[in-house]
Amino acid sequence: MFRTELQVFPAKTQISLQNPILLLGSCFSDNIGKLLQENKFSVLPNPFGVIYNPISIFNLLESSILGKSNLNDFFLQREEIWYHYDFHSGISALRKEDLEKQILEKFKQVNHFFSFSNTTTFLILTLGTAFVYELKGKEKIVANCHKMPSSLFEKRLLSPENMVKEFEKLYEILPQNLHIILTVSPVRHIKDTIPLNSVSKSVLRFACYQIAEEFENVSYFPAYELMIDDLRDYRFYEADMLHPNSQAINYIFHKFVEMYLDTPALMFLKKWEKIYKSLQHKPFYPHTSAHQQFLRHLLQQLEAITEVEVSEEIHLVKEQMI
């Protein structure tokens, strides 16, 4: 035995193909969101862009649900481009009013997501760091510093108690049909130094533990532990030695599938995996009879699917047929 594999067990509340899923948080949310989308789940991944600290995530959720936000106080312009301190730098515009429209549309998207009252909705929060940057004199925790001078900010470490308290406030306004999955991002934040990255992840992990213990409809998925204690090897990192590579992401995703997907969804995934690979196939000679036969068979497989909407895939296949 050369490694300690982390065993996961089926969660009490499981995800079906019909359950909407909202993912917020670090870039690891993007990774998992992309894989869920590829497998035909109804997913809204990181609408606010990558957000690393839990307080900013909670604040954005609150603004989306209540439709209230003090946006005007926290716009900034740098090198002719407008940004907002509550959002990732990918959410930006050349005109302030265009950025404001973009932000309000994001809030509307998330608010609409919470309107599915006839089914369980899943919210997956991936927490990246317990270190926050606060605008001096404003008592405002920012989601992103947007390369502004460090003299404008004060850096501090959140406490688990602080995170739990802020989550409790958010929980009061969350829909009752919501199931929340918390996870700690396996991405290493060594800008804070390796020792302080460990402190930060420990704080996040303890807060997740306390929240999951307190609330029945909150569970914890061990993405961080799968990377650090199960895979536990630099060959599972990208060249920067900070981000999990595709092999690690796929391994963690399969553990997520094993833990959270219900039986019909698991059965569909096995069937869809082969079809998805066929859809990605790029032929050297698309007009050959062999490839056209391949497309006809693929079309038959797609037309037999009833579990999810595949009209777009059918259209793409038909476009290639002669």
Phi, psi for residue 231 in degrees, rounded to 5: -70, -50
> How many independent structural domains does the chain possess?
2
Boundary residue ending a domain (212, 232, 262): 262
CATH of the domain at 34: 3.40.50.1110
Over the stretch 94-138, which tens digit does the pLDDT of each residue have?
999 999 999 999 999 999 988 876 788 999 999 999 999 999 988
Tokens at 132, concatenated: 């926050």
- The pLDDT score that the predictor gives to residue 1 is 63
Instruction: Decide if pLDDT at 60 tops 90.
Output: yes
Examine the domain organization and report whether 26 and 144 are in the same domain. yes
* Percent share of the chain, pLDDT over 70: 99
CB 173 within 8 A of CB 62: yes
The torsion of the CA quartet 238, 42, 110, 227, rounded to 10 degrees, works out to -30
Over the stretch 27-55, which tens digit does the pLDDT of each residue have?
889 999 999 999 999 999 999 999 999 99
Asked whether residue 245 is assigned to any structural domain, the reply reads yes
Phi, psi for residue 5 in degrees, rounded to 5: -75, 135
Q: Which domain holds residue 310?
A: 281-322
Separation of CA 123 from chain center: 9
Q: What is residue 64's DSSP assignment?
A: H
CB 109 within 8 A of CB 42: no
- The pLDDT score that the predictor gives to residue 70 is 74
- Spatial separation of the C-alpha atoms in residues 32 and 2, rounded to whole Å: 27
Examine the domain organization and report whether 53 and 161 are in the same domain. yes
Over the stretch 156-209, which tens digit does the pLDDT of each residue have?
999 999 999 999 999 999 998 999 999 999 999 998 899 999 999 999 999 999
Asked whether residue 95 is assigned to any structural domain, the reply reads no
CB 202 within 8 A of CB 231: no
Examine the domain organization and report whether 204 and 314 are in the same domain. no
- The pLDDT score that the predictor gives to residue 167 is 98
- The pLDDT score that the predictor gives to residue 139 is 87
- The pLDDT score that the predictor gives to residue 67 is 83
- The pLDDT score that the predictor gives to residue 2 is 73
Burial (0-12, 13-18, 19+ Cβ within 10 Å), 145? middle
- Spatial separation of the C-alpha atoms in residues 264 and 130, rounded to whole Å: 37
Q: Residue holding tokens 């490839």?
A: 291
**Nearest alpha-carbon partner for 12 in 135, 180, 163, 235:** 180
